[in-house]
Amino acid sequence: MAGSAPLNRFFLLTLIGQVVALAVYAAITWMDVRNDAMIQLHYTALTFRSASQTTFAGFESSLDALADQLIDSDGLSDPTKGRAILTKSLGTLPAFTVLSVIAVDGQIRALSEDSHDPLPNLLTNPDTRETFLQALDSKAAVFGEIYYSPFLKRWVFPIRKAVRDENGTVIAVVAGGIDSNAAVNVWRALDAFADQRIWMLRADRGVQNIHPISAADMRRLEGTVLPALAGGFPPQEGPAPLIDWPILEDEIAVTLPFPALSGTIVASMKKSLLVKTWVHRMATGGLGFVFLCVVTAVVFRLAQRSQAVADARREAAEHTLFESRENYRLLYENVETLVRDRTAELAALVDTLTRTQAELVRSEKLASLGAMVAAVAHEVNTPVGNALVAATTLKDHTRAFATLTASGRISRQAIAAYVATTEEACDLLVRSLEQAGRLVGTFKQVAVDQTNDQRRSFLLDQTIQEVITALKPSFRYRPITVSLDLAAAVTMDSFPGSLAQVIGNLVTNAVVHGFDDHDSGEIRIITRSVEAQSVTIGVSDNGRGIAPAILPKIFDPFFTTRLGQGGSGLGLHIVYGIVTKILGGGLTVDSVEGEGTRFTLTLPRVAPAEKPVEQPVRPKEALTP
């Protein structure tokens, strides 16, 4: 049917909008999952760096204590005493693999007897010269380049600390080799980050996995040099963006500079964890999407059923009308011979026509209200969908924040991110629900007035604005604008529902008959007070106008230029009857073909004392433009 086409278009547009909303929600959820992973990995790297700094500070304190013992025992100048002290201290410092005293010229003065790694002149050796000179100039301990000990079969961190006299002059350097396993054993014992790995990228591009990895992977990766990373990672203290970690292709990582070791910390996790989290969140949001689709389908089905009933009644009435007209034609052809015999039949036929006309008037009202229901349902669906997306996102962020809080890994940055996300979601939720509330309130007032037309006092400009707001969705996709020039504070004691139906029929008539489907145009509504007893309402358009031959017939019942295209010919007939019978006013029309049409209503501010019984109205005998 012709009336079902707009409903089908509305449903298709609604479905497309829901699919787009789901795609946007999926993209936002994926970005949130990646952002959460970035924050978690950055927190892991910060935790490791803090623990490592504390551990290395303890190593530096051990060298300070050893230096004091060497000074007190004259172990710096006497190699024999120095060796004895170093050997004894090595037994009390299990983290160290070797201890030594080095002169400022780079020569070794004393070496712990348990050392298996020969040490060359540190000043002339190109591998140690730079860090040795740094130790001479620095008051803090300096960590050298990591090296692999073939005797210990493990990696060793060299540490050097300058020993100064009372004047601040360097008199020697105390050095040691730290077992890399001892440096990170405390971290490996932790299981708080079981789904994540920690790596160390040194200045020489050596890669060390810290936690956790299998023995086979450790042997394969330990000390690997990555030529592709010759430039290293840029230092960045804040959360760094996620990168694809080239050591393991199925992992992503974030980086954090570690100046103490002249290197970079890398925290990584498997990509599959991100996908799993994203799928879980999408499944939760998908329930809301399914619910929204079900609600949309139910609303569409109800509107379609209402439209089908209205179409069936209209077609039946048009068919009855056609048959009645045909009978009238035959009756007039044989009036001389049939007038006496058909008087009774004619009276019955007129009665049938009267009831049919009244039924058509009621059907026209129901059809108009049904179309308005479909249009407003489509408009309300958009803010409700936005509100659901915002609420679901807020729920997911709240769960993630609660999980982070329960684990004890909450940070100021995580709190700030949660507050910002919550504020944004709440703003969207409030705006969407306020928009839906305004639409529903406007439609409710118009619908109540049209279905239960009670006399009451109302503001004329407010009632007209509500009617236009309810009508706009029905022609929102056409380039037609409605401009209002309404006198303020005009109060009427009348029937707002009947007045709303008049305004709605005139605007709809202008949209349907005044413009082609693709024509742009303007509809103007102007109200003015006439003294204190009446008002005038002008409804005009700049459309095609009305032909002079048709103008006197436009208020006749069943007169339409769109017969068979959904037009019943009752729209202006109903308008004329409401204005003259119910509202107690007058209606005139002026039209110039090709320039537009203007309807002028003159209404009393106080309607007649008693509303007449609704019945078919008689058209004007003649109407002069």
Q: Tens digits of per-residue pLDDT, 566-598?
A: 555 677 888 888 899 889 999 999 999 888 999
Asked whether the predicted pLDDT for residue 5 surpasses 90, the reply is: no
Structure tokens at 236: 């960045």
User: Who wins on pLDDT, 589 or 166?
Assistant: 589
Choose among 247, 232, 238: nearest CA to 197.
247
Asked whether the predicted pLDDT for residue 304 surpasses 80, the reply is: no
Q: pLDDT exceeding 70 applies to what percent of the chain?
A: 65
Q: List where CATH 3.30.565.10 sits in the chain.
A: 453-604
Structure tokens at 444: 């409710």
Angle at 357 between CA 301 and CA 4, to 5 degrees: 20
Beta-carbon contacts of residue 403 (< 8 Å; ≥ 6 apart): none
d(CA 123, CA 103): 10
Asked whether the predicted pLDDT for residue 465 surpasses 60, the reply is: yes
d(CA 324, CA 601): 33
Asked whether the predicted pLDDT for residue 560 surpasses 80, the reply is: no
- Do you know the residue count of the chain? 625
Choose among 474, 566, 493: nearest CA to 534.
493
**Most confident listed range (212-221, 391-400, 438-447):** 391-400
d(CA 462, CA 556): 31
Q: Which pLDDT value is given to residue 225?
A: 38
Q: Are 202 and 263 in contact (CB under 8 A)?
A: yes
pLDDT tens digits for range 72-87: 888 788 888 888 888 8
**Most confident listed range (5-14, 109-118, 270-279, 423-432):** 270-279
Q: Which pLDDT value is given to residue 613?
A: 47
d(CA 550, CA 73): 125
Q: Which pLDDT value is given to residue 381?
A: 60
Q: What number is the average pLDDT over the span 449-478?
A: 80
d(CA 617, CA 337): 31
Architecture of domain 453-604: 2-Layer Sandwich (3.30)
pLDDT tens digits for range 90-115: 888 888 888 888 888 888 888 886 55
Asked whether the predicted pLDDT for residue 456 surpasses 60, the reply is: yes
Sorting pLDDT into bands at 50, 70 and 90, what band is 223? very low
**Most confident listed range (204-208, 225-229, 375-379, 496-500):** 496-500
User: Who wins on pLDDT, 127 or 405?
Assistant: 405
Asked whether the predicted pLDDT for residue 419 surpasses 50, the reply is: yes
Asked whether the predicted pLDDT for residue 224 surpasses 60, the reply is: no
Q: pLDDT exceeding 90 applies to what percent of the chain?
A: 9
Q: Which of 587-599 are b and which e, b meaning 16 or more Cβ less than 10 Å from the residue's Cβ?
A: bebbbeeeebbbb
Among 50-59, 456-465, 497-506, the range scoring the smallest mean pLDDT is 50-59
Choose among 238, 193, 190, 187: nearest CA to 208.
187
Asked whether the predicted pLDDT for residue 344 surpasses 60, the reply is: yes
User: Who wins on pLDDT, 117 or 160?
Assistant: 160
Q: Which pLDDT value is given to residue 234?
A: 44
The average confidence (pLDDT) of the chain is 74
Asked whether the predicted pLDDT for residue 522 surpasses 70, the reply is: yes
User: Who wins on pLDDT, 580 or 559?
Assistant: 580
Helix or strand run (H / E) with residue 268: strand 263-270
Sorting pLDDT into bands at 50, 70 and 90, what band is 602? very high
Among 121-130, 242-251, 270-279, the range scoring the smallest mean pLDDT is 242-251
Asked whether the predicted pLDDT for residue 207 surpasses 60, the reply is: no
Q: Could you count the other beta carbons within 10 Å of the beta carbon of residue 487?
A: 14
Q: Which pLDDT value is given to residue 9?
A: 74
Beta-carbon contacts of residue 206 (< 8 Å; ≥ 6 apart): 146, 223, 224, 225
- The residue behind tokens 């910390």 is 265
Sorting pLDDT into bands at 50, 70 and 90, what band is 483? very high
Q: Which pLDDT value is given to residue 196?
A: 76
Among 218-222, 312-316, 372-376, 462-466, the range scoring the smallest mean pLDDT is 218-222
**HSE value, Cβ hemisphere, 13 Å, CA-based, for 571:** 21
**HSE value, Cβ hemisphere, 13 Å, CA-based, for 501:** 30
Among 84-98, 284-298, 435-449, 484-498, the range scoring the smallest mean pLDDT is 435-449
Q: Which pLDDT value is given to residue 457?
A: 92
How many helices and strands (H and E) does the chain possess? Answer: 12, 19
Angle at 15 between CA 10 and CA 16, to 5 degrees: 100
Sorting pLDDT into bands at 50, 70 and 90, what band is 67? confident
Q: Which of 514-544 are b and which e, b meaning 16 or more Cβ less than 10 Å from the residue's Cβ?
A: bbeeeeebbbbbbbeeeeeebbbbebbbbbb
Asked whether the predicted pLDDT for residue 600 surpasses 90, the reply is: yes
3-state secondary structure of 155: strand
**Most confident listed range (15-29, 141-155, 323-337, 606-620):** 15-29
DSSP letters spanning 285-349: HHHHHHHHHHHHHHHHHHHHHHHHHHHHHHHHHHHHHHHHHHHHHHHHHTHHHHTTTTHHHHHHH
Asked whether the predicted pLDDT for residue 533 surpasses 70, the reply is: yes
Sorting pLDDT into bands at 50, 70 and 90, what band is 254? confident
Asked whether the predicted pLDDT for residue 550 surpasses 90, the reply is: no
**Most confident listed range (68-77, 278-287, 324-333, 526-535):** 526-535
Q: Which pLDDT value is given to residue 56?
A: 76
Type of residue at 598: R
Among 121-130, 386-395, 589-598, the range scoring the smallest mean pLDDT is 386-395
d(CA 535, CA 526): 10
Choose among 239, 195, 185: nearest CA to 46.
239
Which phi and psi (to 5°) does residue 431 adopt?
A: -60, -45
Q: Which pLDDT value is given to residue 440?
A: 64
3-state secondary structure of 185: helix
Distance between start and end Cα atoms, the chain: 36
User: Who wins on pLDDT, 513 or 367?
Assistant: 513
Q: In what order do the strands lie in the sheet with 263-270?
A: 224-225, 206-211, 196-202, 263-270, 251-258, 243-244
Among 152-156, 260-264, 357-361, 397-401, the range scoring the smallest mean pLDDT is 357-361
Q: Are 37 and 600 in contact (CB under 8 A)?
A: no
User: Who wins on pLDDT, 170 or 307?
Assistant: 170
Specify which residues 484 forms β-bridges with.
525
